[in-house]
Structure 1
Amino acid sequence: MKIEQIYTGCLAQGAYYITSNGEAAIIDPLRETKPYLERLEKDNVKLKYIFETHFHADFVSGHIDLSKATGAPIIYGPKAQPEFDAIIAEDRQIFELGNVKIEVLHTPGHTMESSCYLLHDESDKKVALFSGDTLFLGDVGRPDLAQKAAHMTQEELAGMLYESLYTKILPLPDDVTVYPAHGAGSACGKNMMKETVDSLGNQKQVNYALKQPDKESFIKAVTDGLLPPPQYFGMNVAMNKKGYDSFEEVLNNGMKALSVEEFETVAESTGALILDTRKSGEFARGFIPQSINIGLKGDFAPWVGAMIVDVKQPILLVTDEGTEEEAVTRLSRVGFDNVLGHLAGGFAAWAQSDQEVDTINRITPEQFASEVKIGEDKVIDVRKEGEYAAEHVDEAYSKPLAYINDWVKDINNDEHFYLHCAGGYRSMIAASILQSRGYRNFSEVDGGFGAIAKTEVPKTDFVCQSKVL
């Protein structure tokens, strides 16, 4: 028997590959199936099962394409109602894989169909729990995502999650290894550890949700401080439940290389969003007007999902040459399948064709320190609330990037302001969005707060809740 965690950092997502005596199972596969197919062939094993812990909200699974390619059935726990062929397992149902067994544990609460998969080894010892979004390391799955579909409140779902954890998971042996579906950085929880594997016994000691004295305390603890989920979550659930276009078709469309003239024609005729995936510094020095910058070398896919409202939005890509396939792949993982092509030759081809070019007013932290007048000038910090609370520029406004569509309307276009994040990645996303909407009265600070903190600019950890733009 062999267990392998296949972890994708930008999504903070763990898929699992299990083999025993010539047979394999994959749990919660990513959208692109080629790596799994190559691995199966290399190991000379047959894929027997594709297990899904639930209908994922934060990414599109590769379950349908993988099933079509291999003939392996897709398995869900009780209550799942997919719109494609699948095995809907019963609670405690056993699936044999080579010399081992996988037991279904129905654990509703995060969603109604959420299930964990308990692996029994060759001697029938319980050795591993693939916990999906029911149990994370340091946290549990948020109970607010399935409210509408379940016709329940988040408190009612949290109560159901309590029963699942305290009656089915906590009684398991302490030496069972926990393999969660997500780690730190995922929006599916609020307090996840950076580690991606742990023992259940240690989680019983360190996980706040598993140490609550009663159900009422648990409900309060897991619902307190939940941030609104990204807008694309519901659309990803629908794709995972109803089906989607094959990844190969999506990739072929996105890999169409368009000349400058073709690119311009497609943009004008379709209303496509121009997504520039280069590094923030390169983007600032020159870009196609109205482009949005979300750098590929960062949390690319989650920020695309958070910033672009509709997964069906037509998209044209401007990339560093050679990264086109990576960009299309990572977009598809969060359901953005309508990529119409990319600019052949990248931004250099556009600049060399005498087309209009725009820039962002990016300044150094030293320039910011010499210019800014604390208490007089407006400084907008687009980091998360927790980052801002830890330390920030004195008198700065906390306006997280995730909520830019809410606070952008409060900006006075006649008043100059400074814009920064932690290192420059998020503030350039914000800058590109602001500029595409006609706001040009700002200076974005290169290096963000990390660089500002090394200057003499006054800083504080005092948080004024009443500050408004």
Structure 2
Amino acid sequence: MIIQQFYDKGLAHASYAVIRTGKMIVIDPARNPQPYYDFAAQRDADIVGVIETHPHADFVSSHLEIHQATGAVIYCSKLTGAAYPHETFDDGDFIQLNDVKLKAINTPGHSPDSICILLEDEQGKDVAIFTGDTLFVGDVGRPDLRENVGNITAKKEELAKQMYRSTRHKLMTLPKSVIVYPAHGPGSLCGKNLSPDLESTIGRELRENYALQLMDELSFVKILTTDQPFIPKYFGYDVDLNKTGAKAFKQSVDAVTRISAESPLQKDVLIVDARPKQQFRNGHIKGAINLQDGDKFETWLGSVLKPGEPFYLIAENEGSLNILIKKAAKIGYEKNIKATLLAPVNATEKSAHLDLDDFKANQDNYNIVDVRNNGEVNEGKVFKNAASIPLPELRERINEIPIDKPIVIHCAAGYRSAAAASIVAAKIQQVLVYDLGEVVVEFDEGVHN
């Protein structure tokens, strides 16, 4: 028997393949199915099944495409309300993979329709469990993503209660030796305390996972519903898209329009410039926002832009454009791309340059905006008089920023402040808008030392 993990660092997403005697099951596949096809070919295996542990909020799954390409059966809970061809997979159901079994366990909590998959080896021993977004290494799935989306909605407090029962009655009773394979690792917004490790055991989680320690239901609910990270704008959209199934990855990526750098752009369409911030500062199209390519580009794209909002995408070269289109497709935003292009000749708008010495000496002469997340701000402000507006909320709350003084924007390390400064500068012309950038680390160290 072979178990293979596929890990996408950008979305901190783990998917899996299980192979036994030439037959392969894929669990929670990412948008691009090619790695699973390649792995099956390498192992001379046929993909016969795809299991969805729940309708994912943070990425688009390729379950429907894999079914259409290979004939593999899609398995999911009957509670999913799936609009694609599938077989239901709930408590008591199992998939026989020659002499091993994949057994369904309903584990509501992260979502009402969540399942885990328990793997029984050829000796009939439970050896591993694929926990989806129910149990992570060091955490459990957040309960607040299904209050308004999905086939079944539920308030976060009710889902937290369900998570308490799922963990206590179903997962924590498993043998301590059972290996835990979660759907996410550190950096995922589906939990708040994920370990850097990408696998664990039930025994280790019983010892180390804060959510599995001895406590009553009320205490558990309070802990689980407190201090969860922000919810990107695209999460609800992806839940609904995964309920129906997305179009084929390559077909969708290839359909994105590409135009020359000299082509005129429609004035009312947002421009996302993904070049490094120094290139952007030296010259960009007026009104463009700077979401730099990086490990979390797709997360910030789906946090700043709404589902269905069209945008032009600019990159520094063709190779970067190809990568960025695929990153947008991972969250279903390739359909939003009006067109892609390289930096045009009229990209002449320059960003304001902050006189750092003057700022250090005269901070009261500036309106400071902190675009870190609320949880970061709660741990300590860098500037006591700064207004706090998290980056995902900035476009909707920009009118809260006073315009009686120049504006300085900061985050924790420079990426978000570059995006935020470009968003604010595109809308506020009465005063200069500055990005404090990486220099914020010097101020932050002064606060915490």
TM-score per shorter chain, which class? over 0.9
Q: Partners of 2:170 and 2:87 in 1: how far apart?
A: 22
Given candidates 428, 436, 439, the residue that maps to 1:445 is 436
What is the one-letter code of the residue matched to 2:13? Q
Distance 1:110 1:356, change over 3 A: closer
What is the one-letter code of the residue matched to 1:431? A
Given candidates 430, 434, 459, the residue that maps to 2:447 is 459
Q: Partners of 2:70 and 2:442 in 1: how far apart?
A: 51
Aligned to 1:301: 298
**Cα deviations by residue, 1:154-202 (Å, 9 ceiling, x for unpaired):** 2122111211111110000111111111122212112222221111111
What is the one-letter code of the residue matched to 1:443? Y
Is the 1:182–1:196 contact (alpha carbons within 8 Å) kept by the matching residues of 2? yes
User: Structure 2 stretches of 5 or more lacking a match?
Assistant: none
What is the one-letter code of the residue matched to 1:426? R
Q: Partners of 2:153 and 2:9 in 1: how far apart?
A: 33
Is the 1:92–1:106 contact (alpha carbons within 8 Å) kept by the matching residues of 2? no
Tell me, yes or no, if structure 1 residue 385 matches structure 2 residue 386: no
* Equivalent position SS for 2:255: helix
Is the 2:415–2:437 contact (alpha carbons within 8 Å) kept by the matching residues of 1? no
Aligned to 1:260: 261
Q: Partners of 2:78 and 2:216 in 1: how far apart?
A: 26
TM-score when normalising by structure 1: 0.89
**Cα deviations by residue, 1:93-145 (Å, 9 ceiling, x for unpaired):** 11122432111111112212100011112212111111011111221111122
What is the one-letter code of the residue matched to 2:258? A
Aligned to 2:282: 285
Aligned to 1:85: 85
What is the one-letter code of the residue matched to 2:303? A
Aligned to 1:342: 340
Aligned to 2:126: 126
Given candidates 423, 427, 448, the residue that maps to 1:433 is 423
What is the one-letter code of the residue matched to 2:309? Q
Q: Partners of 1:228 and 1:422 in 2: how far apart?
A: 16
Task: Judge which range, 411-420 or 295-304, deviates more.
Answer: 411-420
Q: CA deviation at 1:362?
A: 3.9
Aligned to 1:464: none
| Identity value in percent | 32
Tell me, yes or no, if structure 1 residue 138 matches structure 2 residue 105: no
Given candidates 158, 161, 172, the residue that maps to 2:160 is 158
TM-score when normalising by structure 2: 0.92
Aligned to 1:182: 184
Q: CA deviation at 1:376?
A: 4.7
What is the one-letter code of the residue matched to 1:244? A
Is the 1:15–1:26 contact (alpha carbons within 8 Å) kept by the matching residues of 2? yes
Is the 1:374–1:394 contact (alpha carbons within 8 Å) kept by the matching residues of 2? no
Q: CA deviation at 1:78?
A: 3.5
Q: CA deviation at 1:287?
A: 1.1
* Equivalent position SS for 1:306: helix
Q: CA deviation at 1:260?
A: 2.8
Q: Partners of 2:436 and 2:158 in 1: how far apart?
A: 45
Is the 2:32–2:249 contact (alpha carbons within 8 Å) kept by the matching residues of 1? yes
Q: CA deviation at 1:356?
A: 5.0
Distance 1:205 1:362, change over 3 A: farther
Given candidates 314, 324, 327, the residue that maps to 2:324 is 327
Q: Partners of 1:451 and 1:20 in 2: how far apart?
A: 54
RMSD over equivalenced CA pairs, Å: 2.1
Distance 1:47 1:448, change over 3 A: farther
Is the 2:175–2:202 contact (alpha carbons within 8 Å) kept by the matching residues of 1? yes
Q: Partners of 1:41 and 1:341 in 2: how far apart?
A: 35
Aligned length: 443
Q: Partners of 2:357 and 2:329 in 1: how far apart?
A: 38
Q: Partners of 2:403 and 2:292 in 1: how far apart?
A: 26
Is the 2:283–2:347 contact (alpha carbons within 8 Å) kept by the matching residues of 1? no
Is the 2:54–2:132 contact (alpha carbons within 8 Å) kept by the matching residues of 1? yes
Is the 2:382–2:443 contact (alpha carbons within 8 Å) kept by the matching residues of 1? no
* Equivalent position SS for 2:369: strand
Q: Partners of 2:214 and 2:298 in 1: how far apart?
A: 34
Q: CA deviation at 1:315?
A: 2.5
* Equivalent position SS for 1:103: strand
Task: Judge which range, 389-398 or 376-385, deviates more.
Answer: 389-398
Aligned to 1:51: 51
